[in-house]
Amino acid sequence: MAKKPKKKKPLYIRYDPNLHPELARALCLAGHTDEESIKYLQISKQTFYNWQNAHPEFRQAVQEGKAPVDDDVESALLKRALGYQDESTEIIGTDDGNGGIKPKQVRKTRRFVPPDTVACIFWLKNRRPDRWLDEQYFKHSGDLTIEVKDPEGWGEEEFEPRPEPESE
């Protein structure tokens, strides 16, 4: 039987206030998730969250790094939810013999991307959960009494355990 490969333990790394906040900000600005940042920094998940709790400048760097990327994603989701038009330009040409292209024709193309219902639902569930969340919560006021009745006297007789099945 083959041995299981041992999991590598993260190295113990001492927090450096001059290095780690800037690294975390850069990783988040590049769109890395917490898990990816943790791997890059070679620390455990617990250490990452401990650093955020213990060092406000680290927490702020993570938040500042994530904000612009989150804003971009939010804008893209909204654009997709509402539908959009874009225009592309295609240059058609021939080889000019010197490694370049001699333009023959320029073609502009407009396309319309219709609204995406999945993006709409996602947007509304997160922005208007009071109206669009799948789960509904009901608030009950007053007393609640549960009464269990014994229909047709089921509880009056005693049940004997089933006999064990016979083995062959």
DSSP 8-state code for residue 72: H
Q: What is the rounded distance in angstroms from the CA atom of residue 159 to the CA atom of residue 157? A: 6
Mean pLDDT by 10 residues, the chain (168 residues): 66 88 96 95 94 96 94 92 93 84 88 93 87 77 77 63 74
If you count them, how many residues does the chain have? 168
Tell me, what's the pLDDT at 31? Answer: 93
DSSP characters for 89-109?
A: EEEEEEE-SSSSEEEEEEEEE
pTM of the model: 0.56
Tell me, what's the pLDDT at 83? Answer: 94
Q: What is the 3-state secondary structure (H, E, C) of the chain?
A: CCCCCCCCCCCCCCCCCCCHHHHHHHHHHCCCCHHHHHHHHCCCHHHHHHHHHHCHHHHHHHHHHHHHHHHHHHHHHHHHHHCEEEEEEEEEEEECCCCCEEEEEEEEEEEEECCCHHHHHHHHHHHCHHHHCCCCCCCCCCCCCCCCCCHHHCCCCCCCCCCCCCCC
Tell me, what's the pLDDT at 136? Answer: 67
CA-based radius of gyration for the chain:
31
Q: What is the rounded distance in angstroms from the CA atom of residue 10 to the CA atom of residue 45? A: 10
Tell me, what's the pLDDT at 110? Answer: 94
